[in-house]
Amino acid sequence: VFAPARNDVFKKLALCTLVFIAFAACSSHESAMEPQASGGDAAVNVDDNNYSPSSTAVVPGASVTWKWRGANLHSVTFDDGGASSVQRTGDYKRTFQNAGSFAYHCSIHGLAMSGTITVR
Ligand SMILES: [Cu+2]
């Protein structure tokens, strides 16, 4: 009497498991497309006229150091207020304590020269 009902339950369980596996595979694929947060500090090159890499992910408490390598004047100017000098050479270091997305750009070249630090 219970056999057909139990069989139905197994079918539904199997279907749920398949859906869950497909969803999990999809999610991990999407996160693999984003830059991975490394365990430590990170470095970004300031070139003429771009940041390399333009997207960097770090964990809370990590520092990012920008290194000027181009011949022209550039800055690292954050939307939230922090900024380097406008300079041709040298470094700029910022430590990120809180999770979030931090957009920055060059005050000389505007949004054509921009980048993002993701803290997570
Ligand atoms: Cu610039």
Interval 34-71: pLDDT, tens = 566 667 999 999 999 999 999 999 999 999 999 999 99
75-83: average pLDDT: 97
CA of 80 to the centre of ligand 1 (A): 18
Token pair in block for residue 41: 């500090």
| Ligand 1 midpoint to CA 58 (Å) | 23
Q: How far is the CA of 88 from the centre of ligand 1 (A)?
A: 9
Which pLDDT tens digit goes with each residue over 9-20?
666 666 655 555
Give the residue-averaged pLDDT of 102-111.
98
Ligand 1 centroid to Cα of residue 19, in Å, is 48
Ligand 1 centroid–CA 108 distance in Å is 5
Retrieve residue 33's tokens: 């497309």
**CA distance to 62, 97, 101, per residue, from 119 (Å):** 9, 8, 6
